[in-house]
Amino acid sequence: MSEGYAHENELVSAESNLYDRAMDVGIALSITTFVVGMITFADGVSLAATGMELVTFFGILLGVVAGGVGIVAVFSYTNVVPITSQRVRGVALGLLVSLVGLAVAAAALPVSLATMLGLVMIVEAGLLVAAGAGSRFGFVETDPSMSAGLLAGIVFGLLGAAIGAVIVASFPGVPGVIAGVPLWALGGLLFGVGFVVLTVSPREDIGSTVPPALIIGILGATIATAVIGVGWQWTPENLSGGFTGGSVIPVFVLFGSLLSSWSAAKCRADFGARGRQYGAFFVINLNAFLMVAIMAAIVVFVAVKGIGWAFHDFSIGALSLLVVLAPLLVLTVQRARAPAGTDEWHSAARQFFRVLPLAAVGSFAAMLLGIIVTGTPFEIPYQYAILVDRSTVMLDTAFRVTPSLAVGNLLVIVSGTLLFTYFLRRYGSLRDVGIEYERLSPVRQAVPAVIGLLVLLSLVFVGIGPAPGGIPIGPTVGLGLATLGAIVVAALVLAPLGALLTGEGSLAERAHENAQLLNVGLFSGVALLFAVIVLEWTAVSNPQLGPLAPVPTVALLAALVSICLAAFAARARRSTDDTLRHRVLGEEVTLALTAAAGFVTLIGLHVAATSETAFAVGPVEVAIHGSLSWPTVLQGAIPLGQAPGGIYPAIVGTIWIVIGASLFAVPLGLGAAVFLTEYAEQGRFTEVVETATNALWSTPSIVFGLFGAAFLIPRLGNSLSLLAAQLTLAFMLLPLVVITSREAIKSVPDEYRDASAALGVDRWTTIRSVVIPAAMPGVVTGVILGVGRIAGETAPLILVLGSEINATNAIDVLGGFAFTTSPPFITNEALLNSSAALPTQVWGIITAGVSGSTSKGWATAFMLLVVVLSFYAVGIIARTYFRRKINYE
């Protein structure tokens, strides 16, 4: 619009005026109506609400907003997180003003929420017109373009046409058709053209305020005058359903407020380029907010329906929860320790938010400790409904945390492994630090050899079985070696402690000098004990010395010693100023913590590997059956039982299907992608393959199901089977893996390949060690998407796996493997059997309609969501890991 660049505008215009304030209130009002529209859409409040009910509703909203704004305002006032933007301040204030206004209006006016929303929209429309006119006639200084633009013109034209057609068509007493042309079409055309002209021809300040104001005003008026009221209904002739006021009004409100926020934002930012930017900001953000809200609503809906059954009779020991909490605790500690910026730079607030998660996890842990100490369980009793013989029955149940000190070995293994990996990754190295004792180097060399021997021996036992020919070689050898191994480990771990406690010099000096002892002792200890446990497992031996089992006892002892070592090193670290020593001692702390986590994990592994059911020290025990009781997830269905059973078999089935399909599809797909991208001549052939892959990806899943049923099943034992399901879904997953891997490999810069080739590295090695690692995040993204799709896939599974709904036993894939003497040498009965799976179970339950099972269906759906989201989480963690590896962070 301008001739050249006019610089008459101020660069910084912090001064605000009445106009700005008014527009901020307008924006805030739009946001408020938008949110209220969403709430009414989800039936959070009735559209017919009046009087006190309405006042309370707005009061609650006001409270929430005032709380949020208040906290931020306090932070801002105390200069912790200064909010300096006039617009943000204005909108925040506007939110308060508009909510107070709405609450007062609700108290003063005897109208329903629907009418009130309509009135608010009319007010918004008036405000927009006033702002547009004010700008046009020069009461406020703005910077509008010549026109609102063609795009806005088309959009408002279409909207106007729709409104015009509806108005004309619904006017009573108007003839339907004039001269063969339906009148509504004429009306629509007229309105449409009018709106286009109104938008495009005047200056931007009129063009982008008056048309939206008209639309908002008309929508508001229809609601306010109850033309479309709460009880309104419309059933079109050629549509079996109908529209009700309850669903149309929220849509009008949402749409109107979206429009008015856009227009008001444009006004607020003085039109022109800044206005367009600010307007777009609101439309995009509110839209995104709506989408997120819809997705969240779906999840919440399923969760609310299914959570009752899913957590039926859930109870867990406090110690088990603490074990689960341990990795979280470590993560939050790490977060809290991160430096919180410089002193001037709002460090207080950052510190606060850094520490917040730790405080939360910490207080939770304290609560659990409280439960253990006082011995009183924590209970949340609740009820949920199931259908028995077509009548609703309420079941009483509760969510419990008991003071039990038993922990399941699986929990110990998972938590321990997580901690072990975490500390190991943080551990750098202690190479060339401290004294290299002469007696250490034989240990360094002997330990790997011994471990190798133990592993070899284990392999032998796997081959010949623990008791070939009835002679119990395994248990005997195991007894001797395991006991011996445990004693050696104890010695290895105690050596650094001994060296630390005796000897000359200060604690820090001793700790520094003995770094090698610590390094060798702890690492060898963990590795050796692990080998011993592997031997115990394969040789089926579980040595007992009197009442003591040497292996777990040593593991516990070693864990405690490691913690002591960590504590000593940490103390020594505090007392030293020397930077090098400080660093070395830090490494020692990490190393000792790594070892502690490792030894704890080994206790769990020992229990898992041997026939022992529990390793107990006093009341604390690590057991196969810990204190977690979660019938829905850990049990099968109970046939004809009164108490509701569980869906464990379906969960296991789904997990195995996903694992099997991924194991099959990912290597194959990645391989195909590598071939197509790196080896095949780019041209016709790769194009054809690419097209075919894309087509395969869009093939409906039921087609894959038919293929599985008609082709795979006859070749895999002629019955519904897990293997057929895995293969069918693998075929579905394959194209996506190929497509995404191909894209990822293509996007690896050629420079890497050149660099590698120039170093004389051959192509395959280059692909393996440079191209694939760099492409890995993309590959993982593809796998995540694909797994998300197949995990919930139902139609093909019904055909190849059946739809078992009351499975009592889970399929045992790992235990199903058996070695045979004739080809194929390894068989797995379990894979050739049918199994339950979550999606087919949902489908089966819903279609079967057996009494009592709708709530089971919801619980199954809920668990399906949880399983899919867990796979998702694993995928995202993997992707983050690979990304971190190739990015510099």
Partner 1 sequence: MNNQIGDTDTDTDTNVSTDTSTDSQLGATTGVETSTTTTAGESEEQIRDEWTDYRFDSPAKLSVEDLNVWYGDDHALKDVSMEIPEESVTALIGPSGCGKSTYLRCLNRMNDRIKAARIDGSVELDGMEIYDPNTNLVELRKRIGMVFQSPNPFPKSIRDNISYGPRKHGEINKGLLARLFGRDDSEKEAELVERSLRQAALWDEVNDRLDDNALGLSGGQQQRLCIARCLAVDPEVILMDEPASALDPIATSKIEDLVTDLAEDYTVVIVTHNMQQAARISDQTAVFLTGGELVEYDDTDKIFENPESQRVEDYITGKFG
Q: Does 720 bind partner 1 (CB under 8 A)?
A: no
Give the residue with the Cβ less far from partner 1, 445 or 694: 445
Give the residue with the Cβ less far from partner 1, 346 or 753: 753
Would you say 832 and 717 are in contact if contact means Cβ atoms under 8 Å apart?
yes
Residue 233, SS3? strand
Out of 329, 752, 808, 866, point to the residue binding partner 1 (CB under 8 A).
Answer: 752
In this structure, what DSSP letter does residue 390 have?
T
| CB contact set of 727 (below 8 Å; sequence gap of 6+) | 660, 661, 664, 708, 712, 716
Q: Does 379 bind partner 1 (CB under 8 A)?
A: no
Closest CB 759 distance from partner 1, rounded Å: 4
In the numeric block, the tokens 């308060």 are attached to 96
Q: Does 579 bind partner 1 (CB under 8 A)?
A: no
Give the residue with the Cβ less far from partner 1, 305 or 581: 581
Give the residue with the Cβ less far from partner 1, 89 or 753: 753
In this structure, what DSSP letter does residue 629 have?
B
| Stretch of 282-290, 759-767, 785-793, 805-813 contacting partner 1, by CB under 8 A | 759-767
Closest CB 530 distance from partner 1, rounded Å: 13
Out of 749, 819, 847, 880, point to the residue binding partner 1 (CB under 8 A).
Answer: 749
Q: How far apart are CA 76 and CA 94, in angstroms?
A: 17
Out of 17, 544, 769, 870, point to the residue binding partner 1 (CB under 8 A).
Answer: 769
Q: Does 14 bind partner 1 (CB under 8 A)?
A: no
Q: How far apart are CA 334 and CA 354, in angstroms?
A: 9
Would you say 720 and 801 are in contact if contact means Cβ atoms under 8 Å apart?
yes
Tell me the C-alpha to C-alpha distance, in Å, between residue 208 and each of 33, 134, 286, 829: 20, 13, 19, 70
CA atoms within 13 A on the CB side of 809: 6
Q: Does 341 bind partner 1 (CB under 8 A)?
A: no
Q: Does 765 bind partner 1 (CB under 8 A)?
A: yes
Copy the structure tokens of residue 730: 């693998």
Out of 518, 732, 774, 861, point to the residue binding partner 1 (CB under 8 A).
Answer: 774
**Helix ranges restricted to H, 698-749:** 701-707, 713-715, 722-746
Q: Does 746 bind partner 1 (CB under 8 A)?
A: no
Out of 288, 754, 848, 876, point to the residue binding partner 1 (CB under 8 A).
Answer: 754
Q: Does 209 bind partner 1 (CB under 8 A)?
A: no
Give the residue with the Cβ less far from partner 1, 30 or 458: 458
In the numeric block, the tokens 């702002």 are attached to 131
Closest CB 589 distance from partner 1, rounded Å: 19
Would you say 807 and 636 are in contact if contact means Cβ atoms under 8 Å apart?
yes
Bridge pairing between strands 826-828 and 817-819: antiparallel
Would you say 547 and 566 are in contact if contact means Cβ atoms under 8 Å apart?
no
| Stretch of 584-592, 757-765, 778-786, 824-832 contacting partner 1, by CB under 8 A | 757-765
Give the residue with the Cβ less far from partner 1, 352 or 752: 752
Out of 757, 818, 874, 877, point to the residue binding partner 1 (CB under 8 A).
Answer: 757
| Stretch of 166-174, 238-246, 247-255, 767-775 contacting partner 1, by CB under 8 A | 767-775
Give the residue with the Cβ less far from partner 1, 236 or 442: 442
Would you say 250 and 124 are in contact if contact means Cβ atoms under 8 Å apart?
no
Number of chain residues interacting with partner 1 (CB under 8 A): 30
| Stretch of 130-138, 201-209, 396-404, 770-778 contacting partner 1, by CB under 8 A | 770-778
Q: Does 758 bind partner 1 (CB under 8 A)?
A: yes
Would you say 265 and 275 are in contact if contact means Cβ atoms under 8 Å apart?
yes
- Judge if the upstream peptide bond of residue 824 is cis by omega within 30 degrees of 0: yes
Out of 6, 14, 759, 826, point to the residue binding partner 1 (CB under 8 A).
Answer: 759
Q: Does 431 bind partner 1 (CB under 8 A)?
A: yes
Out of 126, 362, 773, 788, point to the residue binding partner 1 (CB under 8 A).
Answer: 773
Q: Does 825 bind partner 1 (CB under 8 A)?
A: no
Kindly identify the residues of this chain, within the stretch 36-55, that bind partner 1 according to CB under 8 A.
Answer: none
Q: Does 770 bind partner 1 (CB under 8 A)?
A: yes
Copy the structure tokens of residue 301: 């809906």
Query: How many helices (H) and strands (E) would you count in the chain?
Result: 32, 12
Tell me the C-alpha to C-alpha distance, in Å, between residue 239 and each of 42, 165, 519: 24, 19, 76
Out of 452, 503, 505, 671, point to the residue binding partner 1 (CB under 8 A).
Answer: 452
| CB contact set of 701 (below 8 Å; sequence gap of 6+) | 732, 793, 795, 796
Q: Which residues pair with 407 in a beta bridge?
A: 622
Tell me the C-alpha to C-alpha distance, in Å, between residue 158 and each of 155, 205, 208: 5, 20, 15
- In this structure, how many other beta carbons lie within 10 angstroms of the beta carbon of residue 55? 19
Closest CB 762 distance from partner 1, rounded Å: 6
Question: Distance of alpha carbon 312 from its chain centroid, rounded?
Answer: 24
Residue 627, SS3? coil
Q: Select from 194, 255, 443, 415 the least CA-distant residue to 325.
A: 415
Q: What are phi and psi of 783, to 5 degrees?
A: -65, -40
Q: Does 426 bind partner 1 (CB under 8 A)?
A: no
| CB neighbour class for 396 (10 Å; exposed up to 12, middle 13-18, buried from 19) | exposed
Question: Distance of alpha carbon 666 from its chain centroid, rounded?
Answer: 22
Q: Does 756 bind partner 1 (CB under 8 A)?
A: yes
Q: Does 751 bind partner 1 (CB under 8 A)?
A: yes
| Stretch of 27-35, 282-290, 444-452, 532-540 contacting partner 1, by CB under 8 A | 444-452
Closest CB 447 distance from partner 1, rounded Å: 10
Give the residue with the Cβ less far from partner 1, 110 or 760: 760
Out of 259, 451, 493, 713, point to the residue binding partner 1 (CB under 8 A).
Answer: 451
Closest CB 453 distance from partner 1, rounded Å: 11
Kindly identify the residues of this chain, within the stretch 61-120, that bind partner 1 according to CB under 8 A.
Answer: none
Give the residue with the Cβ less far from partner 1, 577 or 889: 889
Q: Does 445 bind partner 1 (CB under 8 A)?
A: yes
Give the residue with the Cβ less far from partner 1, 3 or 889: 889
Q: How far apart are CA 520 and CA 503, in angstroms?
A: 19
Q: Does 580 bind partner 1 (CB under 8 A)?
A: no
**Helix ranges restricted to H, 502-630:** 507-513, 515-538, 550-574, 579-609
Give the residue with the Cβ less far from partner 1, 758 or 814: 758
Give the residue with the Cβ less far from partner 1, 544 or 769: 769
Give the residue with the Cβ less far from partner 1, 212 or 777: 777
Copy the structure tokens of residue 145: 């373009």
Q: Select from 527, 551, 517, 558 the least CA-distant residue to 537.
A: 551
Tell me the C-alpha to C-alpha distance, in Å, between residue 318 and each of 367, 622, 672: 9, 13, 49
Give the residue with the Cβ less far from partner 1, 591 or 830: 591
Cα 80–Cα 81–Cα 82 angle in degrees, nearest 5: 105
| Stretch of 462-470, 641-649, 799-807, 880-888 contacting partner 1, by CB under 8 A | 880-888
Out of 100, 333, 336, 761, point to the residue binding partner 1 (CB under 8 A).
Answer: 761
Give the residue with the Cβ less far from partner 1, 43 or 762: 762
- Give residues in contact with partner 1 (CB under 8 A): 428, 431, 444-445, 448, 451-452, 749, 751-762, 765, 769-770, 773-774, 885-889
